[in-house]
Chain A
Amino acid sequence: MAYLEMIDIVKRYPGVLANDHIELCVERGEIHAVMGENGAGKSTLMSILYGLQSPDEGYIRFKGSTLLLQSPLDAIAHGIGMVHQAFKLFESLSVWENVVYRREPRRGIFIDGARARAQVEELARRHGLPIDPTARVANLPVGVRQRLEILKALYRDAQILILDEPTAVLTPAEVVTLFAVMKSLAAAGCTILLVTHKLNEVMAVSDRITVLRNGRVAERLVTAHTNPTEIVRAMTGQQTGPLRAKQPREPGAILLETQGLVVEQHGRRVVDDVSLEVRGGEIVGIAGVAGNGQSELIEALMGLTPVAFGVVRIAGRDLTRGSVAEHRAGGLSYIAEDRARTASAATASAADNLAMGFHRAPPLARNGLLRPAAMREWARSLIERFDIKVASTETAVGTLSGGNLQKIVTARELAHNAPVLIAEQPTRGVDVGAIAFIHGELLKERERGRGILLVSAELSELLELADRILVMYEGRIVAEFARAAADEATLGLYMAGGRRA
């Protein structure tokens, strides 16, 4: 009997069978990868294991006894810990307060702060996770925050540690450190479940792999006996195709450029002397670990954040101090990273969402007055052209799937026919079919002579689509590569601040 078993797990959501009779077997002290594309069912499965949800059918057996988990509290009590992709930390509190939260050592009715700090320090030292217990979380870099999350689980005597896409926010160097930590934890008897979609990690650190596809177990593999091609085939059900062939293009005029751009926040330069240009007919990619200034750069380009120094020129016009409306009118459109909170209004209809930005001019409006029939027609045509699955133009977009919502945002921004498109994480959390569609649209726009600035955390996406790739690190552009000269390893090196340009 295995150490940990999830037996015949079924979980249904309205309209989709997220987990379809899944069986998972994990041995003690192993690093077990749970792989799959977005929507394959890994997050659901792990949330069941962590007690965030209950399965509709099936059960969990740990160390021989059946677990009935009604909340993460139960999971923690049984020795199951989880480090989420989005950290769940209290920013304004200290490291030790975060670690001991709800298990505070006490002295009478007060918290014994000294003992808490000592315990945290000891725990950190023992597992090779150096950290300052008194530091405020808000001041910690991402890699250290993840260490804190792991410490939280270890403090609660986790024997099983679930890591959900742990490397999404780490530099390649931090990833190496993390792997070392994982191996040492496993050697000490901790069992690790690594949820990921990244091949290189799985190959580097895991012992066995369970591949999910469409809610079912597609394959069970032993890492030492398999290879990336086999894994990808199990994840997608198809062979990895050749990279999309691209027509080489002579780029056109400069449509968007910045010179010496500086953005300051809280006394720090979050964008530090950035000069770049985007020409018609090219896709310029920006690689970089989240938090190195990409978001702030894009916001400055759009007029959402004020610029301290430097120039932003759109189609030759200096719009450094312009408003968002002026930037858009000047020729920018923008697929924002956060589609639900920023790029759409959940309770508004598809028609309203698709009309935003067009509502002051023909054909949707005339002399300041809207034309409802035109709005509906506009929405209908975009929905059809982009094959968006929505019941009607009046449906609230909050009910749509991630992929369909992303299509709405993409459709709207592309419909502007603006000379420059800024796309930020355009395929994050989107199903495979929609990813292919959006990539196809971006390439088509490139063909039409549009200039595209593509910010993405997926190096594979950048390598596939971009003509040139810039690397951002700590607010500066530290490297620039033509597509042919770039590869993941080199990009990763600069992303980690390896060699300054």
Chain B
Amino acid sequence: MTVAAELRSQLARHLGQALPVLGAVAVGFAVCGLIALWVGLKPGLMFVELIKGAVEGPQLFETVARAVPLVGMTLAAAIPLRAGIVNLGADGQLALGGCAAAIVALYLPAPDIVRLVAALAAGMAVGAAYAALAAAGEIYAGVPLLLSTWLLTYPAKGLCGFLVRTSLRDPSTAWPSTARIAVGARLGSLIPGSPVNRGFLLVAVVAIAVIFIDRRSSIGFELKLRGLNERFARYGGVDLHRQTLGVMLASGAIAGLIGAIMVLGSQFRYTDGALTAPQYSWSGTLAALLAGGEPVGSVVAAVLFAALQTGGFAMERSVEIPRVLTMVLQSVVILFLAMRGAIWKRP
């Protein structure tokens, strides 16, 4: 047994994981092409506009700007998924985080920069706490996280919607939303003239941290092994409940952070439904599923999905093909992989 043999095994394993994904993507494109033909659209044109719309000129910055929240939400989904847990409540944690960040940024009596930092922290804290609620349901009452996280999104969004229509309401706006956040408390632009703001740096740091912890730390090791065989992890001394709580706190914190970044970096106010409208949580969940919760693969998938969605918007503008088709594409890819058993085969 030599180093060469080890490298060969590793390469075989990685290839074995990558090839089905490429195949699935090809199938996804084919299916969407067929659907487009069926409703009388031109698939070739569609794909050209899609790709141009993702990377041509200023569109590239659009893609990057979209990648920021998307990578974030993907990581929020991937961390629990690594341990075999599905967090479907990212939307609720996102909304609560953004709302909390807005409240702090608007009303905390403190200098600008302090407000900004406190708002970001508040977003993370609230998101984490709300996710912990679902974790408590699983730990103490055995309510599956898959269900509890999903169910909890509704009261969360409802509460934010309620607040923003009553005590937080800025009467001068048409949509239910808060007042504008002062310039000093915002996340400034990173690349002038582009929609990319400093939130990019925050998400980059988070991504690097997640990847590092997953690959190189004992905690990451335990997470990975639990995802592969929960009984084995328990037998080996891993405290499952503590781990569940830990991943949910991390997941909620990241979702809340993204909410805060969206509010402080691009929207500059909390508007009802504006954080969840782009459906980053769902795309994030799909990207994480595609990679089986593995962080590097998840980030790559997220960036690709961001390109896909930006391209989709441009495609809709230029050739009037509804951009929801990109959602169809994403789902088909995952579906195909799942059906082939290439995704997340749990023992």
Contacts and interface: CB of A to CB of B under 8 A. Distances in A.
A and B touch in the complex (CB under 8 A): yes
Nearest to A329: B237
Contacts of A394: 6, 9-10, 13
A392 B234 contact: no
Contacts of B238: 324-325
A494 B345 CA distance: 45
B237 A345 contact: no
B1 A390 contact: yes
B6 A370 contact: no
Given A341-B347, A365-B218, A390-B1, A357 B9 contact: no
A359 B222 contact: yes
A325 B234 CA distance: 9
Contacts of A334: 235
A381 to B, nearest CB: 11
B229 A344 contact: yes
Most chain-A Cβ atoms within 10 A of its Cβ — which of B6, B215, B217, B225?
A: B6
B236 interface: yes
Interface in B204-235: 215-222, 224-225, 228-229, 231-232, 234-235
Interface in A300-349: 302, 304, 323-325, 327-329, 334, 336, 341-349
B218 A360 contact: yes
A323 B235 contact: no
B347 A392 contact: no
A37 to B, nearest CB: 28
A383 B225 contact: no
A356 B234 contact: no
B239 interface: yes
B6 A342 contact: no
Contact of A370 (B5, B218, B225, B234): B218
Contacts of A391: 1, 5, 9
B214 to A, nearest CB: 11
A149 interface: no
Given A325-B237, A376-B6, A345 B229 contact: yes
B317 interface: no
Contact of B216 (A345, A356, A370): A370
Interface residues of B, number: 30
Interface in B232-255: 232, 234-239
A304 B1 contact: no
Contact of B217 (A324, A369, A390): A369
B118 to A, nearest CB: 29
B208 to A, nearest CB: 15
Contact of B9 (A302, A343, A392): A392
A329 B236 CA distance: 11
Nearest to A325: B237
Nearest to A395: B9
A414 to B, nearest CB: 15
Given A347-B347, A352-B225, A392 B232 contact: no
A487 B264 CA distance: 78
Given A342-B232, A348-B225, A348-B228, A357 B1 contact: no
A347 B342 CA distance: 13
Contacts of B219: 368
Interface string A375-393: 0100010010000001111
Interface residues of A, number: 40
A196 to B, nearest CB: 30
B235 A336 contact: yes
A359 B221 contact: yes
A124 interface: no
A274 interface: no
A376 B215 CA distance: 15
Given A324-B235, A356-B236, A369-B218, A345 B228 contact: yes
A342 B10 contact: no
Interface centre among B6, B225, B236 (most CB of A within 10 A): B236
A360 B2 CA distance: 26
A344 B5 contact: no
Nearest to A351: B6
A455 to B, nearest CB: 15
Given A341-B347, A345-B225, A356 B217 contact: no
B237 A357 contact: yes
Nearest to B239: A323
Contact of A324 (B6, B218, B234): B234
B9 A328 contact: no
A422 to B, nearest CB: 12
B221 A328 contact: no
Contacts of B13: 394, 396
A359 B8 contact: no
Nearest to A302: B235
Contacts of B215: 370
A364 B6 CA distance: 18
Given A343-B232, A356-B225, A370 B217 contact: yes
B344 to A, nearest CB: 11
A329 to B, nearest CB: 8
B231 A341 contact: yes
A323 B237 contact: yes
Contacts of B224: 348, 352
A360 to B, nearest CB: 5
A190 to B, nearest CB: 39
Among the interface residues B13, B232, B345, which one has the most CB atoms of the partner chain A within 10 A? B232
Contacts of A357: 236-237
A193 to B, nearest CB: 33
A82 interface: no
Contacts of B217: 368-370
B346 to A, nearest CB: 9
Nearest to B8: A392
B6 A392 contact: yes
Contacts of B5: 391-392
A211 interface: no
A360 B222 CA distance: 10
A355 interface: yes
B228 A347 contact: yes
Interface in A223-238: none
Residue with the greatest number of chain A CB neighbours at <10 A, chosen from B8, B215, B237, B347: B237
B210 to A, nearest CB: 15
A341 B233 CA distance: 11
Contacts of A349: 9
B1 A383 contact: yes
Interface in B81-116: none
Interface in A45-68: none
Given A368-B218, A370-B218, A356 B232 contact: yes
Contacts of B234: 304, 324
B52 to A, nearest CB: 40
Contacts of B221: 352, 355, 359, 370
Interface string A253-276: 000000000000000000000000
A324 B237 contact: yes
A412 to B, nearest CB: 9
Contacts of B237: 323-325, 327-329, 357
A445 to B, nearest CB: 20
A373 to B, nearest CB: 11
4 cross-chain pairs, A with B, having the tightest CB-CB distances, nearest first: A325-B237, A345-B229, A394-B9, A392-B5
Given A323-B237, A352-B224, 11 more contacts: A325-B239, A343-B232, A344-B229, A347-B228, A352-B225, A356-B232, A359-B218, A360-B218, A368-B218, A394-B13, A396-B13
19 contacts: A325-B237, A325-B239, A345-B229, A347-B228, A347-B345, A347-B347, A348-B228, A348-B229, A352-B221, A352-B224, A356-B236, A357-B236, A368-B218, A370-B220, A370-B221, A372-B216, A391-B9, A392-B2, A392-B5
